[in-house]
Amino acid sequence: MAAEPFVPAQQNPLHGILWMLASGLSFVAVTGVVRSLGTDLPAAQSAFIRFAWGAVFLLPTLLGVLRAGMPVAVWRLHLGRGVLHVAAVIFWFYAMARIPVAEVTAIGYLNPVLLTVGTAVFLGEKLAARRMAAIGVALIGALIVLRPGLREVTDGHLSQIGAACCFAGSYLFAKRLSALVGAGQAVAVLSLVVTLGLAPLAWWVWVPISLAQVAWLAVVAACATLGHYCMSRAFAVAPVAVTQPVVFLQLVWATILGAVAFAEPVDPFVLLGGGVIVAAVSYITWREAVLRRRAAKPDVPAI
């Protein structure tokens, strides 16, 4: 029997906003659980267990991908992405256990900004003046969050900046892979490669771990998977320009979580800086959507 043709989801901006809200809450749950685990486990060990659970969840897809096989060039892209993602998740787990939840979230908003810079540097995409200005605004937002010279910038802050840079590099590889493989394969192979890459690092720093900690890291993997699923559904039913501003609410939820669950003080500069970054990212996203529509629009011959 022939496979049914793919039918794009019907556009519904309200549903897109709701899906993005669910995605943000899922990712805040991830940060909350990791923050609650604290520094009892080394970052590499926590990251390894989280991605091992992810590989288990994606095992059916992964087995199908491995049976089908892939060209060597595609494997190289998967491996390159995996190396950067290994570094990114170690940096992220380290930062998450040491700085407030809201600050991790706000600095993480730099990922798409750094990705935009990376596409220009490594993929040759042009940066128009307006996009360069938006990048500058986003960097000002990061300075508002960090406030170097006015307060101590800790190793946790530097680690989260490293995570943002490495995640952006990983997404560059994902951008190349998106033209060659499906999203299911990309996510499944990433889970496998990152798990294998983290294994020796986790073994090197391994400490005794309780069943409760293993179970909570399974919750982290499940929430992260749910977050990515909800985000994909949001992108399918609404323009990114509609859903992107909703991402700012993730910082609001993170601030509330930090204040209620971990007695972290509410820092208005973090909210302001995060808002500035999100505004810049939203503009870049909207501008790229406009350019894609223009490129897809057929030329109308003169009459």
**Residue 125, Cα to own-chain centre: how many angstroms?**
21
Closest CA to 37 of 254, 215, 256, 213: 213
pTM here is 0.84
Judging by beta carbons within 10 Å of its beta carbon (0-12, 13-18, 19+), is residue 253 exposed, middle or buried?
buried
Reported as a single tens digit per residue, the pLDDT across 75-122 is 999 999 999 999 999 999 999 989 999 999 999 989 888 888 888 888
Which pLDDT value is given to residue 303? 36
- Collapsing DSSP to helix, strand or coil, 284 comes out as helix
3-state class (DSSP) for residue 151? strand
Q: What is the mean pLDDT of the chain?
A: 86
**DSSP state, residue 246:** G
Residue 160 phi/psi, 5-degree rounding, is -70, -35
Q: Where would I find the H helices in 147-210?
A: 155-177, 183-205
Backbone angles phi, psi at 47, to 5 degrees: -65, -40
Query: Any idea which residue has 């990061």 for tokens?
Result: 142
Those residues whose C-beta lies under 8 Å from the C-beta of residue 26, and which sit 6 or more positions away, are 223, 224, 226, 227, 230
Do the beta carbons of residue 99 and residue 39 sit within 8 Å?
no
Provide the pLDDT confidence category of residue 8 given band limits of 50, 70 and 90.
low
User: Which tokens belong to 157?
Assistant: 């802050």
The residue with tokens 């995996």 is: 82
Residues 157 and 95 sit within 8 Å (Cβ to Cβ): yes
pLDDT exceeds cutoff 70 at 49 = yes
Side chain identity at 200, as an amino acid letter? P
Give bridge partners of residue 13 from the DSSP assignment: none
Return d(Cα 209, Cα 2) in angstroms, integer.
49
Single-letter amino acid code for the residue at 133? A
Ranges 39-43, 187-191, 273-277, 292-296: which has the least confidence: 292-296
At residue 125, what are phi and psi to the nearest 5 degrees? -70, 145
Which residues share a beta bridge with 92?
Answer: none
8-state DSSP, 38: T
Q: How confident is the model at residue 231 (pLDDT cuts 50, 70, 90)?
A: confident
For residue 208, pLDDT beyond 70: yes
